[in-house]
Structure 1
Amino acid sequence: MILDNFVKMAVTAAADKNAEEIVILDVREVCSFTSTLVICQGRSGRQVQTITTAIRDTLRENGCRPHHVEGERRGEWVLMDYLDFVIHIFMEDRRKFYALEHLWGDAPRLAWTPPRPKARDGSGIAGAGTGS
């Protein structure tokens, strides 16, 4: 399965806000309500909310709005339903408790490589400073 552009945008937005343990599952063969699950976590409720906002804003700017969002106020487990894909953003303890990766264990994991960090010196290459 080739990753949907909206899924790539969502995962990149999450990574930009330091989401941890990002997993993408192709659930087409084992699930009737969506094609792709994205699961990630934040270290605090505030970070979970920040990741949620970044994903929502990025996708909205590109014409994609969620069908439904749950749990944003508490920030322990946010579910963002975009119909073709569903995003779960957890606090670490909630993620371990619900263990969605194990629940959907038969689903293949999709490869995703985070973008390289942007250079701080404007060169386009991370760590390519002048050294002086």
Structure 2
Amino acid sequence: MKPDKIAKKIADVLEDKKAKDIKIINIRELSTLADYFVIASGTSVINIKMLSDEVEAKMEEENVKLLHREGYNSARWVLMDYGSVVVHIFHEEDREFYNLERLWSDGMKEQS
């Protein structure tokens, strides 16, 4: 599956599970880290873990394997690495504090 399709699928999964303020940022021209960031907010630790679990399950169904996940235990900021796509699921307060959208503002912002 191509990176843009992976990012869109992840955003759709997050939207279906009621994640808040979902953004897709194309960072392909800005970094070698990935092609896309998908950023979303959850409302609680339980909600953030559920969002992360759902993304992982749905992507496995698509044969897209999770390479690495960080922050799951504290669930304030869960990072999921799919190689060409990196998913950030934040608690709302932490998202505001770290403000990745500002840091990567040169990337083309795409709404889910």
Q: TM-score, normalised by structure 1?
A: 0.80
- Residue 4 of structure 1, CA deviation: 2.2
The aligned counterpart of 1:16 is 16
Opposite residue 29 of structure 1, the aligned amino acid is: E
SS in 1 for 2:90: strand
**How many residues are paired up?**
111
- Residue 8 of structure 1, CA deviation: 1.9
- Residue 3 of structure 1, CA deviation: 6.6
- Residue 78 of structure 1, CA deviation: 0.1
| Separation in 2, partners of 1:24, 1:3 | 11
Give the share of equivalent positions with the same residue, in percent. Answer: 32
| Separation in 2, partners of 1:106, 1:4 | 18
Identify, as 1 or 2, the structure richer in strand: 2
The aligned counterpart of 1:128 is none
Identify, as 1 or 2, the structure richer in helix: 2
Q: Which runs of 4+ in 1 moved over 3 A?
A: none
| Separation in 2, partners of 1:111, 1:76 | 23
The aligned counterpart of 1:124 is none
Structure 2, unmatched stretches of 5+, are: none
Deviations 1:39-79 (A, max 9, x none): 00001111100100110000001101111100111110000
Structure 1, unmatched stretches of 5+, are: 113-132
1:52 aligns with 2:52: yes
Structure number with greater CO (CA < 8 Å, separation at least 6) is 2
Alignment of 1:89-104 (within 5 A): 89-104=89-104
- Residue 17 of structure 1, CA deviation: 1.1
Q: TM-score, normalised by structure 2?
A: 0.93
Deviations 1:97-122 (A, max 9, x none): 1110000011111243xxxxxxxxxx
SS in 2 for 1:110: strand
RMSD: 1.4
